[in-house]
Structure 1
Amino acid sequence: MNGNFDLKYQALFRKYYPNLIFYATRIVGDEEAEDVVQDVFVELWKRKDSIEIGEQIQAFLYRAVYTRSLNVLKRRNIADGYCNALEDINQRRAAFYHPDNNDVIRRIENQELRKEILGAINELPEKCKEVFKLSYLHDMKNKEIADLMGVSLRTIEAHMYKALKYLRSRLEHLMLLLLLFLMK
């Protein structure tokens, strides 16, 4: 069981760590965000015998980062003797980034999704990438692209087929996420 937990833990760390850092930074700033997120993963590790990693783990991680971030803000307020106005700003920031504010979490996740998709597009061979970007990002028709590039329509269709085939296999793990993203 522990070996299985180790693998799940490593996968969780790789999947959520960057997003959680981004999230914590919005609440506590750069200097303490990494400490907050590391504390959450340490706590998760300590509870490995009593916690089940399932569907709710993302919500658990965001809520744990949020709670630890609030504790950092409280300690900071006490230690620095912040004036009431600054304390009010910290409270408003914390409320805005509350895990129940799904729009904020969705925005963070969408940025990561967009980065992964653009990364996959940039891995395409040069001509495929150019054709794909003209078609999907600049909304050009295959005939317009053929005329612009001075090649046959069949060549453009072949590049599009190759690009879509590659992206489909490269981003297969994101397809369900992408469908949900496009349905919003």
Structure 2
Amino acid sequence: MELHKDTLSKTITFSENYPDYFHRSFVYAQSYLHDQHLSEDIASEALIKLWENWDESYTTVQRKAFLLTIIRNKCLDHLRKIQVNTKTHEELTEISQRELVFRISLLESTVPQELFISDIQKIVDNTLKQLPEQTRLIFKLSRIDNKSANEIAGELGISIKSVEYHITKSLSLLRKKLKDYLPVILFLYA
């Protein structure tokens, strides 16, 4: 019977103080958290903890100090979580920012025309190396030195038809080797 009486007394005392304690708890939590719902939750959790540890021998000041400690610790825990999350977010943002700066600088330093011209030049050079010596010479005289078929024929002592054959052979092979670059060549030079 004494246990029931103590519980009843505890309940009455707690119930009488609940509105004041809740209001104080909420205002204190809200002053740090700036979140109404979270502050209400923490105030409620703190009051449950106070109820579980209620002792009639404690003074009102001791109860409020206990309640304040609970709320303080819960607010600290929450704010530390926010701090960790914010730091993690900032680190991820910093990494993303560095990667973005890298991609921008890479694009800014890349001149597509120079890249393609370099690739195309390598293919042309390698293809010309595969040609027979006379075909390569005729191609160079025609396309690099800008000589006409008549001039080349006269210089090498061969017929114009022979010069045209060698140029056609060279261009045919180059077309095959550069087929993947045709859209780029057309894009850049058309």
Bin of the TM-score, shorter chain as denominator length: 0.3 to 0.5
TM-score, with normalisation over the residues of structure 1? 0.43
Greater radius of gyration (CA):
2
TM-score, with normalisation over the residues of structure 2? 0.42
